[in-house]
């Protein structure tokens, strides 16, 4: 799934805060959006493993949610929202495509690493790959509660959906461009750097 889908799904869930504690809704939505983005900071360092915790983050998010409900404050709500965003991200990655340069080919059996299970979870491919049309559909549907429940959210949501639409339109061409670039550039890199290029980026066949 696209990073923007993760942000909008997390924000959409957090926007439900407006029904119970409207004064905390904007902070919850912002924190959830950041939480939805956070796991992918591992993109160049053990992607979908280092910062992805499908099981543990879910446990932490549920505990934080219980605390936010019983002891509601700006801080407990924001922490719970952030963890819910991060947990949803890791869990949703298991429903997408595998970790490969062209995930629509469906050759990778690695969707996201579960530290709890001690192994990679296989991709379900409900969303075939990040940037697939159904990915944009999910992002658009997930955006609805945020727009309806949080005042002033529309411009940000529209901008995120705009960026997503461009990405979806270019997704396959970007992969082809990257494959060509990698083919030319990687052999010219010093050997120490060559080892640092993630395997999925140099799969040029």
Contacts of 171 (CB under 8 A, 6+ apart): 129, 130, 131, 132
Q: Binding segment for Zn ion among 21-29, 33-41, 119-127, 156-164 (CB under 5 A)?
A: 33-41
In the chain, the DSSP E strands lie at 112-114, 119-121
Tell me how far apart the terminal alpha carbons of the chain are, to the nearest angstrom.
Answer: 24
| Residue ranges in 81-100 that form contacts with Zn ion under rule CB under 5 A | 93
Question: What is the length of the chain?
Answer: 205
Tokens of 22: 């409207």
Q: Which of 4, 31, 32, 40 binds Zn ion (CB under 5 A)?
A: 40
- Judged by beta carbon, residue 27 or residue 37, the one nearer Zn ion is 37
- Judged by beta carbon, residue 12 or residue 39, the one nearer Zn ion is 39
Structural contact between residues 78 and 28, judged by C-beta atoms closer than 8 angstroms: yes
- Judged by beta carbon, residue 93 or residue 100, the one nearer Zn ion is 93
- Judged by beta carbon, residue 37 or residue 67, the one nearer Zn ion is 37
Total site size for Zn ion, rule CB under 5 A: 3
Structural contact between residues 14 and 27, judged by C-beta atoms closer than 8 angstroms: no
CB of 169 to Zn ion, least distance (A): 21
- Judged by beta carbon, residue 81 or residue 99, the one nearer Zn ion is 99
CB of 41 to Zn ion, least distance (A): 10
Distance CA 6, CA 191 (A): 35
CB of 40 to Zn ion, least distance (A): 5
130 binds Zn ion (CB under 5 A): no
CB atoms < 10 A from the CB of 135, how many? 23
Binding stretches for Zn ion (CB under 5 A): 39-40, 93
């Amino acid at each position: 799934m696209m990073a923007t889908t993760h942000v909008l799904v997390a924000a959409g869930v957090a926007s439900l805060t407006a029904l119970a504690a409207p004064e905390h809704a904007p902070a919850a939505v912002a924190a959830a959006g950041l939480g939805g983005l956070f796991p992918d900071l591992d993109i160049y360092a053990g992607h979908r493993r280092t910062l992805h915790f499908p099981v543990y983050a879910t446990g932490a998010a549920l505990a934080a949610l219980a605390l936010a409900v019983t002891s509601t404050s700006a801080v407990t709500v924001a922490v719970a929202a952030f963890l819910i965003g991060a947990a949803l991200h890791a869990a949703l990655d298991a429903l997408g495509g595998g970790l490969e340069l062209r995930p629509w080919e469906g050759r990778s059996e690695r969707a996201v690493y579960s530290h709890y299970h001690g192994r990679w979870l296989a991709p379900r491919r409900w969303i075939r790959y990040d940037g697939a049309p159904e990915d944009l559909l999910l992002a658009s549907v997930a955006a609805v509660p945020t727009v309806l429940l949080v005042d002033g959210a529309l411009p940000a949501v529209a901008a995120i959906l705009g960026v997503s639409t461009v990405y979806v339109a270019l997704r396959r061409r970007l992969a082809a461009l990257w494959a060509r670039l990698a083919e030319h550039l990687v052999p010219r890199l010093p050997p120490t750097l060559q080892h640092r290029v993630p395997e999925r980026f140099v799969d040029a066949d």
